[in-house]
Chains A and B, each alone.
Chain A
Amino acid sequence: MTSEPTPQTLIPAPQLQISPEKLTSARSESEPSAVRLFLNSRGSSGLADQGFAALMLLCACSIFAIVGFIFVILVLRSRLSLAQFGSHFFTHTGWDPVSGDFGAFPFIYGTLVSSLLALLIAVPLALGVAIFITELCPRRLKAPISFLTELLAAIPSVVYGLWAVFVLVPIMRDQLGPFLVKYLGWTHLFEGANFGVGLLTASIILAIMILPIISSLTRDIMQAVPNSQREAVLALGATRWEMIRIGVLRNSRIGIVGAVMLGLGRALGETMAVTMVIGNHPEVPHSLFAPGYTLASVIANEFSEATGDLYLSALIEIGLALFLVTIVVNAIARLMVWAVTRGAPARIS
């Protein structure tokens, strides 16, 4: 037992002088040891420990409480609409608050089409970025490029929307739109008047927004692939691309699918930027230029002016649907990502 206290000891050392006999005797007899006596003299830490653990547990469980509470309150508040429309609510087309006719199909359609289109644009690009950063990029460029893509994730949704309204919409209207009609008009996807706002514009801004999430997750997943895999493939005489394809992509495909689904979850619930450029028209659009509406943007637009209980509860039911869908998509995606990265949390979340 040292008698001079080191600067950082929390317990004054002199009090800890215990003779070996005392320790052995404490074990043989029933009387408490000197250490125990000393600890007891400092107050019961057992109670404090239990209290602290209970408090931490309570906070941890508050996360369950939040999810449960959101679900319960959404169900309670959408009772009216649930009872009135039942399952038809999601297959019915028609949104007329004045006559009390509510069907969410146009919103579901708009949400799905814009999100899937966004994935179609974003996934190849995100994969390319992830491959570039993990496998190809010179060491010096690695950190700046990762940092730039993370900055892209830090830009708030409303700023993307602002940029989209004043920059992307004119580009869509004057340059990209006519270009698409000219070269891809035969697909009949680009028909009708092109106002600049519409499904396609919303998909492009969504793609820009989900890109950093997918690419940084994919990057993490690809980095989790052990180097021995790469070396083994290279040793067999593979080119770099073959090494990436066989050694890296094949090993991380589950995680990549998970990352894509996390991006999908984000796209489904994205509100502000989409609301600002999708055109907000409650009909099923027949062209990618046509204005549409999504689940999130109808809530953002109409919630504060919803008059009447049925209108409000229909909007809350849309929120409930959005909640459940994103929970399911996210749960599946997290499980897939976890399977690869072994529970390491996502960087950008």
Chain B
Amino acid sequence: MTSASVTNTTPATPQRPPLRHSRSNGMRRSFMDAFVVGLATLATLLVIAPLVAILGYLLYKGASSLNLAFFTHIPAPVGEPGGGMANSIVGSGIVLLLASFMGVPVGIAAGVYLAEFGRGKALAAAVRFTADVLNGVPSIVMGISVYALVVLKQKHFSALAGGIALAIMMVPTITRTTEEMLLIVPNAVREAALGLGVPKWRTALSISLRTASPGIITGCMLAFARVAGETAPLLFTAFGNQFWNFHLNEPIAALPLQIFIYAISPYDEWHRLAWAGALVLILLIMVSVTLVRIFAGRGILKGNS
């Protein structure tokens, strides 16, 4: 203490808090520490609670109303019990397939451009940025744009229009994951291929893309899972249908649409079907997301999606 008071001449003393306060200060600090740690833990519990609540309730309501008829029958008219969503499940499949056929190649190609051809170019940065911004555009806006372009031209709703709307939503996600995955591929692999005289396009396709394929498949599946649950873009494009339809040029039923229609209806029977539909939808999405995680974890490159 004495040496400290000797070295600390008058100008330094006011800046340093007196030593006797440090114990209460330390208590305050450790209390604050414990308090914040407690808050963060509480927040995590609070966030997990609704998830558990939603999933639990969904399982309970969905499982109790799920039966074979749900998968084999088309919706029953109002007042009649029974009926299912077979046409919606098939319809969702058709629309999603259409969307994937259009969205996946374009998305992957754009990702290949970003990672293989556009490194460091201003144009690539602009594409990247636009893709990220497009990702945030509300799905309902996609819905009305495709309505304005396709449906107004055709003069009727169609599965094709629904597919286009979903494809547009898939492109930016796939582009960004493809790029991210291709960037992980070591340059030495590319150089080895180019050094053997393999043309650049062949290098991009059979070397880079192939090496990164687990990650890219993950990205595609995630984009697929994301649009599988979309309702808003289908409201004015695929429109929904109470009957079977396999024509791409006609309105088609989709699972999320049917859930929405049934959820806001006043009939208990329809509410039951909505819960069953929600359970099926969420199981489909979660199974694909979980599979993807396992798949990506085992891949050549660990996709970190």
Inter-chain contact B231/A156, CB cutoff 8 Å: yes
Q: Which residue of A lies closest to B32 (CB)?
A: A241
CB-CB contacts below 8 Å: A146-166 with B: 147-152, 154-163, 165-166
Q: A63-B130, A158-B231 are in contact. Are A70 and B141 (CB under 8 A)?
A: yes
Inter-chain contact A327/B29, CB cutoff 8 Å: no
| Minimum CB–CB distance for A346 against chain B, Å | 7
Q: A73-B149, A129-B44, A319-B140 are in contact. Are A157 and B231 (CB under 8 A)?
A: yes
Inter-chain contact A128/B293, CB cutoff 8 Å: no
Binds B, one of A85-93, A181-189, A264-272: A264-272
CB-CB contacts below 8 Å: B85-138 with A: 105-107, 109-110, 112-114, 116-118, 123-124, 126-138
| Minimum CB–CB distance for B39 against chain A, Å | 6
Q: What number of B residues sit within 8 Å (CB to CB) of A? A: 105
Partner of B137, one of A162, A244, A327: A327
Note all chain A residues with C-beta closer than 8 A to B286.
151, 154
Inter-chain contact B54/A163, CB cutoff 8 Å: yes
A254 on interface, CB distance cutoff 8 Å: no
A120 on interface, CB distance cutoff 8 Å: no
B144 on interface, CB distance cutoff 8 Å: yes
Inter-chain contact B172/A211, CB cutoff 8 Å: no
| Secondary structure dominating the interface of B | helix
Tell me the complex Cα distance, A156–B139, Å.
Answer: 12
A339 on interface, CB distance cutoff 8 Å: no
Tell me the complex Cα distance, A244–B201, Å.
Answer: 47
Note all chain A residues with C-beta closer than 8 A to B48.
145, 148-149
A344 on interface, CB distance cutoff 8 Å: yes
Partner of A70, one of B44, B129, B145, B177: B145
| Minimum CB–CB distance for A63 against chain B, Å | 5
A99 on interface, CB distance cutoff 8 Å: no
Q: Which residue of B lies closest to A318 (CB)?
A: B144
Note all chain A residues with C-beta closer than 8 A to B141.
70, 74, 269, 319, 322-323, 326
Q: A67-B133, A322-B138 are in contact. Are A296 and B232 (CB under 8 A)?
A: yes
Inter-chain contact B58/A163, CB cutoff 8 Å: yes
Binding site for A on B (CB under 8 A): 29-30, 32-33, 35-37, 39-44, 46-48, 50-51, 53-54, 57-58, 61, 105-107, 109-110, 112-114, 116-118, 123-124, 126-145, 147-149, 152, 168, 171-173, 175-177, 179-180, 193, 196-202, 204, 225-226, 228-232, 235-236, 239, 256, 259-260, 263-264, 271, 274-275, 278, 281-282, 285-286, 289, 293, 304-305
